[in-house]
Structure 1
Amino acid sequence: MERLNLRTKGILLFIVSLMLLLQNLDKPMIYILDEAKNAECAREMLVSGDYIMPYFNGQLRTDKPPLHYFFMALAYKIFGVSAFSARFFSVVFGALTILISFLFCRKYLGERAGWLTAMVLLSSLHFNFQMRMSVPDPYLIFFMTSGFMCFYAFLIEKGKFWIWLMYVCFGLGLLTKGPIAVALPGLIMLVFLIWTKRFNWAMIRSFQIPAGIIIVLLISLPWYWLNYNASNGLWTEGFFFKHNLQRFSDTMEGHGGFFLLPLIMVIAGLLPLSVFCIQAIFLAWKQRANEVLLYCLSIVLGIIIFFSFSQTKLPNYTAPAYPFIAILLGFLLSELEGMNLSLKKVKWAFGFYTVMAFALPAAVYFGLKADKNVQDAAGVWIWFVPIPVGALMGWYFMRKNEISKFILSMAFSFILSNFLFFAKAYPGVYGINPVAGSLELLKNKPNLVYYKMMNSAYIFNMQRLVPAIQSQDSLSIYLKKHPDALVISRKQFEEEILASGDMVPVFEQKDTFENPITVIYKSVR
């Protein structure tokens, strides 16, 4: 590897990352709520040709700005409308995030640390999972990571290219997920400047802030303005107040949690090597004279602390911290490899990891067995066996003081399990869902409606809109006019539906890992 030039190394890393993320990308079907709504919104944009107003099932969707919709629509044009297409550019941005994390770490902390940083990300199940979803987070993570790295490169190298590129990244981030893509990095970078005693007028002037604001606005403002006019401000109000301010100030959709939950999410999200997160953070603080470590530590702590105060807490919120905690872990592991740190420093953490590694397959088995809907898929526990095997190999190499093999045994056991997870376990479990089970029943049915609520994945997978009926009287009138209609709903509304006409359930299945039960009704007349 040492004989290869940097460009070749980067291309090889990108290709390997892309291949790992792309494998079995079309499986399972689009089913998870966020995936379904984002993928369908992009499809409706493509069908209508309206890239200003985001719609889901014909209704205004105010959740997110449009950049990921644009990329998904482009993939639909290239590959056709499918789960693969909806997820394709997420994978591309995931591979790019791994690449720039490697390049940044290699440049400022050395090549060994760079490769170990890439290994941290490649072995993480949650990072791989996040970067395979048809959601805006892979795009946001890439643009925030790029912006942070450009900022540091400008501080060290003073090249104007880096500062202009930073503003481009933040403009695209603003078009991806809104003000959080600019406000949070801006706050963290300000704290870092104050912390390192760089905050002065000369430094502020060097950032060319007025020109930077113009760049950010030129990239993002046209769409926001066109959308504001087209929706009479409805999208703007829904997005900025409900999906930004309200998510921070109130618990939404039951996604709350205690103060330290974001820290736990980051550690859990980057397993296996994140088991050494605490040591990595302490080492970065101890060696904070190395400013790149201090900078990465500032980003990690800034993101974690910010979302600790948010009343709505989700694992994807703290995912932009992943590349930077991966760099801290890469540095820690490179110090272990270089024998600058003793294995005793991480032995207790590896002991905890070993217990978790053996518990994971059992937890998968008994967790699936406990859910009647997916208990037949409990056998997927076997695909997690490489993880405890890797832990045992780790102990063997630790006893022999073979540091590189100790690290590789952890990382590659998880990479292998990730491969098996996406090839076998994930499709095997999520393929058991009411949408997949009832699509054949609904095929080519012209008079199809839903009553009050339904699984959002129906819309994308049928590639058609399904009219909503929200009252019992309206349903009665509709059924009189369309006696051959099928009605999708949930079990909780069964009494109202049966009272609306001579209806009987023809399909019933619990949603995967959710409490609602999807039911399809038809008339007996």
Structure 2
Amino acid sequence: MPNPTSRQPAASLPAVDAAHGLRGIRAMSWSPTAAWVAVFVAVALLVWFGTLGLRHLIGPDEGRYAEISREMFASGDWITIRYNDLKYFEKPPFHMWATALAYTLFGIGEWQARLCVALAGLAGIGISMLATWRWFGARAAAFTGLALLAAPMWSVAAHFNTLDMTLAGVMACVLGCMLVAQHPDATVSARRGWMLACWAAMGVAVLTKGLVGVALPGLVLVVYTVATRDWGLWRRLHVAAGAALLLAVAVPYFWMVSARNPEFLNFFFIHEHWQRYTSNIHSRSGPIVYFVPIVLAGFLPWLGLFPRLWKAMRTPAEGAATFRPALMAGIWAIAIFVFFSLSRSKLPGYIVPVFPALGILAGVALDRMDVRAWSRQLSAMAIVTACGLLASPVVATLNVNHTPNSFYRAYAIWAAAAFLVMLAGVAIARWLLRRGVLPSVAVYALGMYLGFMLALTGHETVGRPASGADIAPQILQKLTPGMPLYGVRMLDHTLPFYLRHPLVMVGEADELTFGATVEPARAVPDIASFARLWKNGTPAMAVMSPETFLELSPTLPMYVVARDWRRIVVTNVAGPTPVLAAR
């Protein structure tokens, strides 16, 4: 294993002094290895950012947070978060701030809505590599980056507009800064700087998804110190200065939003934290093993490494006196996994913060793997990908989530292509084994990454019809800026973004019930009230399910403007060529 304290000194690098800098730079030539590394990074980044806009937004999360950010950008109010013009206090604002800033810089669009998560995912890879390099050397750091790049729960999640990925990227910075700060070669000032960065990242995590930004790192530290008896670690955390910095980052927003909205504190801290964790208030329960298949599938290319991850976690790094970075990473993954497994509220994205720690452990494990052991891993994954290719026609038989089977039939082709790319990556990786483990792992990881990104891109065949993007142009032919657009018993999470027009909730407000309760004038309480507004002569439009349309159309004038398999949009004013709903 490389000794982290015996890395190549700066003096041994190519000398480029002030007098001969330009000439020295021109004289430098890249080695073939450096050129291949540059090509690899360029391809990875091109795919990482180039695919952000290839898919339409899907609900609920992508459309929700894209629209909240759009309303924030349009209104200029970055304190009181609103969704469909109703107060929405379920989450803090950092992710929406970043997205609204992307809109400000680059305009409103799909790739701009996903830019925050893409940057968060990339930051998570970078800081995890830095921490691994500091403790275990450059080769292990390269393996860590490859492990995260090829892990679908990380690379795919970094292309979905959700708060979970932004939180995971920030939490990776918390872990990475902590590990770098505790290196025995760190100077006092360097340790203080990295620990302050760690505390600042925790403040950003609180602004991203609430108290978990402090609770999870705190839980990990407690478990780690109890397991290692390293009580001196707490003296190296710069708790006083760090806590002050954390509060300086997080408190101003909570103070300002509470001053403007007195109802915020109770809803956010009691309802959205305590009640969500301890009860099934949002109907998101799951068994204790809920996250087991998610972690296994999310780290699929490296499943064979799991026994080695345990071994790596228990092995101290060279040069470490008392602090054990791999053990810290392992406890990070285990403690967060257990925390969310015990929760009464479960969603797949909750578990994403464990993957940077798994990536660090994978980097350490791969750094110690010989050619024979890696060959066995390739053989196992060749079987897995071949089985996936043979099973891809099963996708064409699906008919789930109320999605027509025809969309899955189209997606089956993409799934087969994705497994073909992965299988090709495994084959090339095996051929490259004669050049060593690192080149083979690099090509293997790239093949897995490209395969998963191809499968993600192909999901547009299923996602686009559900997004509302295709019917938005038809609606915009009749929808004017001041016209009410009612969501009748339906909270459509994507259509408002594509229309640049919020919904007025009618009847069931879904997750906007709180906003409709505190601001009842901004919503319509029931169908009877909606009927009176619909028939008062003011031009209006409404979106509803086909079932609701069949229920209401016999008694209300409804002219169909647009429709697809999951929604019907109607107006109460006949146009030049109206399509009158059948009585």
Q: TM-score range by the shorter chain?
A: 0.7 to 0.9
- CA distance, structure 2, for counterparts of residue 81 and residue 21 of structure 1: 20
Letter in 2 for 1:494: F
Matches within 5 A, 1:459-474: 459-470=496-507, 471-474=526-529
- Post-superposition offset of 1:314: 1.9
Residue number in structure 2 paired with 1:494: 549
Which of the residues 294, 303, 307 maps onto 1:265?
A: 294
Matches within 5 A, 1:99-138: 99-138=126-165
- Residue by residue over 1:9-33, the C-alpha shift from the partner in whole angstroms, topping out at 9 and shown as x without a partner, is 9999876654322113123222221
- Post-superposition offset of 1:287: 2.5
Matches within 5 A, 1:323-362: 323-337=356-370, 342-343=373-374, 346=377, 350=381, 353-354=384-385, 356-359=387-390, 361-362=392-393
Which moved further from structure 2: 481-490 or 302-311?
481-490
Residue number in structure 1 paired with 2:349: 316
Unmatched 5+ residue regions in structure 2? 1-7, 15-29, 319-323, 508-525, 573-579
- Post-superposition offset of 1:139: 2.8
Letter in 2 for 1:358: L
Contact 1:42 1:72 in 2 (8 A): yes
Letter in 1 for 2:544: S
- Post-superposition offset of 1:162: 1.8
Matches within 5 A, 1:75-474: 75-156=102-183, 157=186, 159-199=191-231, 203-232=233-262, 234-251=263-280, 253-273=282-302, 275-287=303-315, 291-337=324-370, 342-343=373-374, 346=377, 350=381, 353-354=384-385, 356-359=387-390, 361-367=392-398, 371-372=404-405, 374-375=407-408, 377-378=410-411, 379-387=413-421, 389-390=423-424, 393=427, 403-404=437-438, 407-408=441-442, 410-423=444-457, 425-433=458-466, 435-443=468-476, 444-446=478-480, 447=483, 448-470=485-507, 471-474=526-529
- CA distance, structure 2, for counterparts of residue 225 and residue 323 of structure 1: 32
- Where 1:407 maps in the other structure, the secondary structure is helix
Contact 2:378 2:430 in 1 (8 A): no
TM-aligned CA distance change 1:483 to 1:502, over 3 Å: farther
Unmatched 5+ residue regions in structure 1? 511-516
Q: Does 1:481 align with 2:536?
A: yes
CA root-mean-square deviation: 3.2
TM-aligned CA distance change 1:464 to 1:40, over 3 Å: same
Residue number in structure 2 paired with 1:518: 567
Letter in 2 for 1:256: S
Contact 1:473 1:500 in 2 (8 A): no
Contact 2:398 2:405 in 1 (8 A): no
- CA distance, structure 1, for counterparts of residue 72 and residue 364 of structure 2: 44
> What is the percent sequence identity of the aligned residues?
21
- CA distance, structure 1, for counterparts of residue 269 and residue 555 of structure 2: 39
- CA distance, structure 2, for counterparts of residue 439 and residue 4 of structure 1: 58
Letter in 2 for 1:482: G
Contact 2:195 2:237 in 1 (8 A): yes
Contact 2:178 2:198 in 1 (8 A): yes
- Residue by residue over 1:458-481, the C-alpha shift from the partner in whole angstroms, topping out at 9 and shown as x without a partner, is 111111122233222122212212
- Post-superposition offset of 1:400: 7.9
Contact 1:449 1:467 in 2 (8 A): yes
Letter in 1 for 2:570: Y
Letter in 1 for 2:472: L
- CA distance, structure 1, for counterparts of residue 393 and residue 137 of structure 2: 39
TM-aligned CA distance change 1:469 to 1:263, over 3 Å: closer
- Where 2:244 maps in the other structure, the secondary structure is helix
Which moved further from structure 2: 85-94 or 321-330?
85-94
- CA distance, structure 2, for counterparts of residue 324 and residue 308 of structure 1: 17
Contact 1:360 1:384 in 2 (8 A): no
Which moved further from structure 2: 148-157 or 460-469?
148-157
Letter in 1 for 2:170: F
Letter in 2 for 1:174: V
- Where 1:521 maps in the other structure, the secondary structure is strand
- Post-superposition offset of 1:95: 1.6
- Post-superposition offset of 1:54: 0.1
- CA distance, structure 2, for counterparts of residue 11 and residue 221 of structure 1: 42
Residue number in structure 1 paired with 2:21: none
Which of the residues 53, 75, 78 maps onto 1:26?
A: 53
- Residue by residue over 1:383-410, the C-alpha shift from the partner in whole angstroms, topping out at 9 and shown as x without a partner, is 2132552476279559989645653453
- Residue by residue over 1:267-302, the C-alpha shift from the partner in whole angstroms, topping out at 9 and shown as x without a partner, is 2112222x1242233322452577222111111111
- Post-superposition offset of 1:252: 5.4
- CA distance, structure 2, for counterparts of residue 344 and residue 73 of structure 1: 47
- Post-superposition offset of 1:457: 0.8
Matches within 5 A, 1:48-87: 48-87=75-114
- CA distance, structure 1, for counterparts of residue 173 and residue 179 of structure 2: 10
- CA distance, structure 2, for counterparts of residue 127 and residue 74 of structure 1: 24
Residue number in structure 1 paired with 2:62: 35
Contact 1:357 1:391 in 2 (8 A): no
TM-aligned CA distance change 1:296 to 1:445, over 3 Å: same
TM-score (norm 2): 0.79
- Post-superposition offset of 1:111: 1.7
Contact 2:540 2:571 in 1 (8 A): yes
Which moved further from structure 2: 390-399 or 436-445?
390-399
Larger Rg: 2
Which moved further from structure 2: 397-406 or 90-99?
397-406
- CA distance, structure 2, for counterparts of residue 134 and residue 194 of structure 1: 37
Contact 1:454 1:488 in 2 (8 A): no
- Post-superposition offset of 1:123: 1.7
**Pairs aligned (count):** 509
- CA distance, structure 2, for counterparts of residue 521 and residue 64 of structure 1: 32
Residue number in structure 2 paired with 1:514: none
TM-aligned CA distance change 1:315 to 1:398, over 3 Å: farther
